[in-house]
């Protein structure tokens, strides 16, 4: 059941554009304790006649191109506009900070620290390389929102990234309404400061709260 004040805010605008930073959104699942389906999100948003366009931003994994493209096709079938670019894989330093925060390490005694260092040394000897996939769309989202500004009366931004505050402030100067969709602890305070309406994703989303293995976006899926 969607909160009535969310429905009221959406219904008051004549032309809403949605911008979904999907990688950012997938981190929300850790807080929510359940998984969402992109198809269900887009389908729900399009039930509102005044939501005119939805853009989804998600990278292409060229190391697993077949599955990645399959997931992209699922996004495109929803009627949303997919914005993509190749993911980058950033090597990470193997050290104690990879496993524990600095504050946590200070709580350990010498024996524990020695064991951690032994583990780090063994990983270095093994030659293992740890990489973090990265595909940031802040610039693309900002440019799209500003390019779309003459066609919309409000934006619904599905992201918690403070880097998008600047373009949102420019839209607000133009008289556009700002809706921020997020989850507790994953939405920057700067976004709260610029918003007209904050929408808790967990109290907006009405779709499935699980997905099949074949639907896993990490694998791409063909379902």
Determine the pLDDT at residue 7: 96
Exposed / middle / buried, residue 153 (Cβ in 10 Å: 0-12, 13-18, 19+): middle
Write the DSSP string, 117-155: HHHHHHHHHHT---EEEE---HHHHHHHHHHTTTT-SEE
Say if CB 38 and CB 217 are below 8 A apart: yes
Q: Which residues on neighbouring strands pair with residue 155, listed in sequence order?
A: 17, 178
In angstroms, the CA 76 to CA 87 distance is: 19
> 170: part of which helix (H) or strand (E)?
helix 165-173
pLDDT in tens, the chain (223 residues): 899 999 999 999 999 999 999 999 999 999 999 999 999 999 999 999 999 999 999 999 998 899 999 999 999 999 999 999 998 887 878 888 777 888 888 888 888 888 888 887 888 888 887 777 788 899 999 999 999 999 999 999 999 999 999 999 999 999 999 999 999 999 999 999 999 999 999 999 999 998 777 676 655 543 3
Tokens of 30: 């850790």
Tell me the residue length of the chain. 223
> 44: part of which helix (H) or strand (E)?
helix 38-45
In angstroms, the CA 191 to CA 171 distance is: 13
Model confidence, pTM: 0.82
Would you give the DSSP letter of residue 157?
E
Which domains does the chain show, CATH number per domain? 4-88+136-215 (3.40.50.1010), 93-129 (no CATH)
Tokens of 127: 């030659």
């Amino acid at each position: 059941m969607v909160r009535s004040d969310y429905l009221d805010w959406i219904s008051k605008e004549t032309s809403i554009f949605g911008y979904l930073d999907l990688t950012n959104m997938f981190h929300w699942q850790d807080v929510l304790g359940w998984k969402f389906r992109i198809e269900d999100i887009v389908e729900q948003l399009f039930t509102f006649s005044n939501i005119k366009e939805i853009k989804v931003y998600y990278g292409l994994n060229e190391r697993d191109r077949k599955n990645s493209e399959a997931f992209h096709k699922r996004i495109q079938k929803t009627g949303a506009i997919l914005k993509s670019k190749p993911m980058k894989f950033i090597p990470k330093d193997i050290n104690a900070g990879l496993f524990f925060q600095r504050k946590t390490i200070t709580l350990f005694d010498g024996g524990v620290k020695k064991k951690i260092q032994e583990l780090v040394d063994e990983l270095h000897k093994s030659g293992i390389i740890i990489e973090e996939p990265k595909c940031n769309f802040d610039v693309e989202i900002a440019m799209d929102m500003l390019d779309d500004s003459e066609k919309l009366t409000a934006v619904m931004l599905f992201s918690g990234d403070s880097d998008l505050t600047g373009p949102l402030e420019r839209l607000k100067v133009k008289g556009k309404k700002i809706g921020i969709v997020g989850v507790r602890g994953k939405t920057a305070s700067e976004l709260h400061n610029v918003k007209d309406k904050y929408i808790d994703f967990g109290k907006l989303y009405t779709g499935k709260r699980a997905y099949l293995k074949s639907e896993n976006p990490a694998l791409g899926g063909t379902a």
